[in-house]
Amino acid sequence: MSKLLEKKIGTSHLLMGNEAIVRGALEAGVNVAAGYPGTPSSEIVESLSKIAKKMGLYVEWSVNEKVSLEVAAAASFANLRALCPMKQNGVNVASDFLLHLALSGIRGGLVLVSCDDPGALSSVNEGESRHFARLLEIPLLEPGNFQEAKDMTKWAFELSEEIKSVVMLRSVTRMSHASGSVMFGPLPETGRKAYFKSDGFILDLETGPVISAPVGYRHPIQQGKIKKVREIFEESPFNTYEGPEISDLLIITSSACTLYSREAIHLLCLADRVGLLKLGTTWPLPPKLLKKYLATTDKILIVEEVLPFLEEHVKVIAAEEAKEIGAKTFYGKNDGTIPMNGELNPDIVVKALSHIMGVPNEPMAPEYEKKAQLVAFTMAPNREQTFCPGCPHRASFWNIHKALQLDNRQGFVCGDIGCYSMAAIPAGFSTIRTLHSMGSGLGVASGFGKLDMFGMNQPVLAVCGDSTFFHAVLPPLVNAIHHQANVTLVVLDNSGTAMTGFQPHPGLNVDAMGDKAPNLDIAEICRVMGANVEIRDPFNLEATQSTLNQLMTESGVKVLILRQVCALSPEKKGKKKFKMQIDKEKCIGTDCGCNRFCTRILRCPGLVWDKDEKKAWIDEVICAGCGICSDVCPSGAIIREEVV
Amino acid sequence: MRDLFGCVSLGRHYPRGGCLSAMKEQNILKDPYNIIITGVGGQGSVMASRVLSNMLSLYGFKITIGETFGASQRGGSVMSHIRVSGCGTWSPQIPKGRANLVVALEPVESLRVLMTYGNPEICILANIRPTYPVGVIAGDLSYPEPEDIDKTLHTLAGQVLLIDATKEAVELGNPILSNIIMIGAVCGLGLLPIGVKEFRSVIQNMIPAKHLEINVIAFELGQRKSIVKIE
């Protein structure tokens, strides 16, 4: 049994932040969950999908975040409780619907969980969702530890239902993907029935249709809700203070930064001089609470990640109350005390505190640090990201790279979001030349594909994964076909949402809850839309390259589907198709003339150059047995033997 | 020797005294005791950190784990930070210079972490089997010789133990077991009050039953390796 279903109240469990959010939703009696996979949010829907049947929930991996929020909202309109987790970028996708949803209001509790990724540990931006809460005028909660991740999620449902508005709960990578102790509360019986009451008077919020218009009527109602929330937040137990009654410095913080700040105070032994005001309710900010603590000090340090969201809004409150509480000195992003980008850690806060308080700080003996740095720089070679051994993307981009070289018109690839984004670096032969959001590869390519009238004759390629195809590539595909753009779309179909852990998508015949589902065929979709479609196995280097070269010479929209299952997929992992070895006689090393095609260019972690023997060798522990290196070697020295 | 934990004024969230005594026994050397598990994507460092943490959690310790995983770790360095405490939740990122134990599933990764988290008293347990970065494979970068790694580690750490965990794992039938051998070796060091009993109880909930015994064998093998080396 999953520990998330533990019935015993008061037991303590080591949970990932994302699991704590799941437990909180279960304790709130959640009925429906819908999301789209994205690091660091994926484990929330993943965990719920595994226990859905047992708990009588409906859980789905929706096609994208906007649809997932619409699905979750429908449950709320039918008076159920619904959870909608997504990565921060997903909030961008869902934001159009979200703005209208904020106006229309909801019925059953609806909680949107946004997992931000400050420092872009697993993203291609470090945008944040806090600003959406202000923009859309909805409440924002931010857990500051793992227990709160659970407790706050549960309370978020209650708050949402009380004010009839979607509530945003924001986590960050160091909360979602970190783990800590969580004490469990009771799991309620969920007996809710779904019924959508919509035949009431058009302006009746309880029984009428759920619509965002008339705006002149709905917007003031929504703003009234935020006013009420502000009052509720003044008394919230999620806003805590620890420290002296009058402090030399007050730290105001939220989220994972609470843990960094507390540890920094501890490390510098400043607990009797520095106060820590940790806010769990960060939009709208509770002005009376802030006024009370601002009054206890002259200096304030605001510790938060990326943009100065808290800082700017706390300053507004401080300005409004200045007459009573006096002028304050603020430290934070604006004066450069805390960096404006990247994620924080205890050391950054220690440095800031040490600077402001004039307390010396020497975390490492300078001599040791110098020695350890020298060792790291001279002896620990940089570990550049690369595709896994046996990854179909290495073969796909090898093929694209070779085909573009042969074509010789300076063609390029518009990239998209997935493991294959790494083709922007040498791992994928640096073939990707534009990289933005989900679906943007083909969108941008569709634009490039119309520039021939301005003299552009470079072949334009776009890549996308199978899950991304459904998420956001369909509209630009329609656009490219309708406008007869000259573009070749390469669909890297590895049979799952591989980067985030093999979540199913509409191209597969299974859904999140493990039930059989009708699968949509990418090739057929493209064909009926009017594209010229070819399907190849990227491990067949010759056939793939010649097909690509042919397609690049044709006009209009061409789609090449490169089908090969991800090397980490449960069906493939740990199983080798080929046993690979080097024929030491045939490998003529540096005399070959290819200048180490095998290791210098292909750069597979399983194929290593022995610089003493000047020959390649297969690291059997790492090699996944895909066999493509055999076709790359001009001397035929890499032998593949089928494993029976 | 510098006292790394010389701080006496603790906030109310980290009560002094009462904290260690609240535990079943006073058997961690520092509170928090900071462990880093480091390696290369695909070596099972996340699994190793969860196994070890859950074992410690069984013992009544409060654990905070900080992990990095996802696409950024494909072929890159992967690190888990484990904070073991009697009092409560700590930052999921260990502060500079404050690691007590490093478990490296790959040897140069142990060198890499010292720059940020090392100190002269640190204990290092490393698998000696290299996983070459692609820059090394491509010939752009060089990888240190095993004896140089060994020698350098001894100049930067208080205690160093090197094990050929991958070789042992291959002999057991699967190189991925090297992470479990390393966890066994951690327990063999005698720094933490946990052993095969806790391992069994944790691992059985994490893997299919048919793999249980081979994992226990790997764990015990690792345990013996480090006990022998210490003696």
**pLDDT per residue as tens digits for the range A348-360:** 999 999 999 999 9
Residues of chain B positioned with their CB less than 8 A from the CB of A427 = 75, 134
- Is the pLDDT assigned to residue A261 strictly greater than 50? yes
- Is the pLDDT assigned to residue A591 strictly greater than 90? no
The predicted model scores a pTM of 0.95
Angle (nearest 5°) at CA B92 between B86 and B93: 115
Q: Which of A122, A173, A259 sits opposite B90 (nearest CB)?
A: A259
Q: Which of B7, B67, B108 sits opposite A178 (nearest CB)?
A: B67
As a whole number, mean pLDDT of residues A499-515 equals 93
Asked if A256's CB is within 8 angstroms of B156's CB, the reply is no
Compute the nearest-CA separation of B156 from chain A (Å): 7
Whether cis (ω within 30° of 0) applies to the bond prior to B32 is yes
**What ranges in A449-499 are assigned the alpha helix state H?**
466-468, 474-482
Closest chain B residue to the Cα of A500, Cα to Cα: B70
pLDDT for the residue numbered B75: 73
Are A275 and A247 in contact by the 8 Å Cβ rule? The answer is: yes
Angle (nearest 5°) at CA A108 between A103 and A114: 70
Angle (nearest 5°) at CA B169 between B167 and B171: 70
The residue type of A627 is: G
As a whole number, mean pLDDT of residues A471-486 equals 98
Helix and strand numbers (H, E) in chain A are 20, 24
Query: Does the domain spanning A3-234 belong to CATH 3.40.190.10?
Result: no
Measured CA to CA in angstroms, residue A272 lies from A245, A278, A565 at distances of: 9, 17, 58
Asked if B67's CB is within 8 angstroms of A363's CB, the reply is no
pLDDT class of B1 with cuts at 50, 70, 90: very low
pLDDT class of B19 with cuts at 50, 70, 90: very low
As a whole number, mean pLDDT of residues B151-179 equals 96
Interface test with A, best of B12, B73, B85, B89 (most A CBs within 10 A): B89
Query: Does the domain spanning B33-230 belong to CATH 3.40.1280.10?
Result: no
As a whole number, mean pLDDT of residues A331-336 equals 97
| Residue numbers of B between 92 and 121 with CB closer than 8 Å to A | 92-98, 108-109, 111-112, 114-115, 118-120
Q: Which of B66, B97, B108 sits opposite A174 (nearest CB)?
A: B66
Helix or strand holding residue A152 (H, E): helix A146-163
**Quick count: other Cβ atoms within 10 Å of Cβ B37?**
34
DSSP string, A332-383: STTTTSS-SSS---HHHHHHHHHHHHT----SS-HHHHHHHHHHHHHHS---
Q: Which of B54, B64, B74 sits opposite A385 (nearest CB)?
A: B74
Taking the C-alpha atoms of residue A178 and residue A588, their distance in angstroms, rounded to an integer, is 49
Asked if B9's CB is within 8 angstroms of A269's CB, the reply is yes
CATH assignment of A240-357, given 3.30.70.1140, 3.90.870.10, 3.40.50.920, 1.10.645.10?
3.40.50.920
pLDDT for the residue numbered A625: 95
Average per-residue pLDDT in chain B?
Answer: 86
Q: Which of A375, A385, A421 sits opposite B114 (nearest CB)?
A: A375
As a whole number, mean pLDDT of residues B145-172 equals 96
Compute the nearest-CA separation of A223 from chain B (Å): 37
- Is the pLDDT assigned to residue B14 strictly greater than 60? no
Asked if A272's CB is within 8 angstroms of B53's CB, the reply is no
Taking the C-alpha atoms of residue B65 and residue B68, their distance in angstroms, rounded to an integer, is 10
- Is the pLDDT assigned to residue B17 strictly greater than 90? no
Asked if B76's CB is within 8 angstroms of A384's CB, the reply is yes
Structure tokens given for B8: 């006496």
Asked if A611's CB is within 8 angstroms of B139's CB, the reply is yes
Q: Which of A122, A346, A381 sits opposite B93 (nearest CB)?
A: A346
Residues of chain A positioned with their CB less than 8 A from the CB of B112 = 376, 380
**Quick count: other Cβ atoms within 10 Å of Cβ A233?**
25
Compute the nearest-CA separation of B222 from chain A (Å): 19
**Quick count: other Cβ atoms within 10 Å of Cβ A204?**
12
A578-642 topology per CATH: Alpha-Beta Plaits (3.30.70)
Asked if A596's CB is within 8 angstroms of B139's CB, the reply is yes
Closest by CA to A84, choosing from A64, A105, A56, A107, is: A64
Q: Which of B14, B108, B170 sits opposite A621 (nearest CB)?
A: B170
pLDDT class of A143 with cuts at 50, 70, 90: very high
Taking the C-alpha atoms of residue B9 and residue B4, their distance in angstroms, rounded to an integer, is 14
Indicate where chain A has its CATH 3.40.50.970 domain(s): 3-234, 392-563
pLDDT class of B8 with cuts at 50, 70, 90: very low
| Residue numbers of B between 62 and 91 with CB closer than 8 Å to A | 62-77, 88-91
Query: Which architecture, in CATH terms, is A392-563?
Result: 3-Layer(aba) Sandwich (3.40)
pLDDT for the residue numbered B70: 53
Helix or strand holding residue A432 (H, E): strand A432-434
Query: Which of A1-15, A16-30, A135-149 is the least confident region?
Result: A1-15
Render pLDDT for A592-631 as a digit per residue (tens, 0 to 9): 888 888 998 899 999 998 888 888 999 999 999 999 999 9
Asked if B96's CB is within 8 angstroms of A363's CB, the reply is yes
Render pLDDT for A190-220 as a digit per residue (tens, 0 to 9): 789 999 999 999 999 999 999 999 999 999 9
Taking the C-alpha atoms of residue A285 and residue A453, their distance in angstroms, rounded to an integer, is 54
Taking the C-alpha atoms of residue A508 and residue A566, their distance in angstroms, rounded to an integer, is 14
pLDDT for the residue numbered B27: 65
**What ranges in A235-280 are assigned the alpha helix state H?**
257-267
Asked if B76's CB is within 8 angstroms of A383's CB, the reply is yes
Q: Which of A180, A600, A611 sits opposite B63 (nearest CB)?
A: A180
Asked if B76's CB is within 8 angstroms of A608's CB, the reply is no
- Is the pLDDT assigned to residue B4 strictly greater than 50? no
Whether cis (ω within 30° of 0) applies to the bond prior to A284 is yes
Taking the C-alpha atoms of residue B113 and residue B103, their distance in angstroms, rounded to an integer, is 10
Query: Which of A328-337, A439-448, A493-502 is the least confident region?
Result: A493-502
Closest chain A residue to the Cα of B53, Cα to Cα: A14
Whether chain A has a CB inside 8 Å of the CB on B16: the answer is no
pLDDT for the residue numbered A360: 94
Q: Which of B131, B141, B155 sits opposite A622 (nearest CB)?
A: B131
Structure tokens given for A619: 């690291």
Asked if B72's CB is within 8 angstroms of A608's CB, the reply is no
pLDDT for the residue numbered B228: 73
pLDDT for the residue numbered B230: 65
Helix or strand holding residue B144 (H, E): none
Closest by CA to A540, choosing from A598, A600, A626, A423, is: A626
Interface test with B, best of A263, A357, A421, A599 (most B CBs within 10 A): A263
| Residue numbers of B between 32 and 61 with CB closer than 8 Å to A | 40-42, 50, 53-54, 57
Render pLDDT for A64-119 as a digit per residue (tens, 0 to 9): 999 999 999 999 999 999 999 999 999 999 999 999 999 999 999 999 999 999 99
Q: Which of B64, B108, B143 sits opposite A180 (nearest CB)?
A: B64
Tell me the Cα Rg of chain B: 17
Taking the C-alpha atoms of residue A543 and residue A507, their distance in angstroms, rounded to an integer, is 24
Q: At what angle do helices A522-529 and A474-482 cross, to 10 degrees?
A: 30
Render pLDDT for A151-195 as a digit per residue (tens, 0 to 9): 999 999 999 999 999 999 999 999 999 999 999 999 998 789 999
As a whole number, mean pLDDT of residues A506-526 equals 96
pLDDT for the residue numbered A644: 75
Determine the 3-state secondary structure of A530 from DSSP: coil
Give me the torsion for CA of A349, A355, A360, A364, rounded to 10°. 40
With tokens 């690091």, the residue in question is: A39
| Residue numbers of B between 148 and 207 with CB closer than 8 Å to A | 148-149, 152, 155-156, 166, 170, 174-176
Backbone angles phi, psi at A83, to 5 degrees: -120, 140
Compute the nearest-CA separation of A579 from chain B (Å): 15
Residue ranges with strand state E in B96-158: 101-104, 123-127
Q: For chain A, give the percent of residues with pLDDT over 90.
A: 92
Closest chain A residue to the Cα of B49, Cα to Cα: A179
Whether chain A has a CB inside 8 Å of the CB on B141: the answer is yes
Render pLDDT for A391-438 as a digit per residue (tens, 0 to 9): 999 999 999 999 999 999 999 999 999 999 999 999 999 999 999 999
Asked if B174's CB is within 8 angstroms of A609's CB, the reply is no
- Is the pLDDT assigned to residue B11 strictly greater than 50? no
Closest chain A residue to the Cα of B51, Cα to Cα: A14
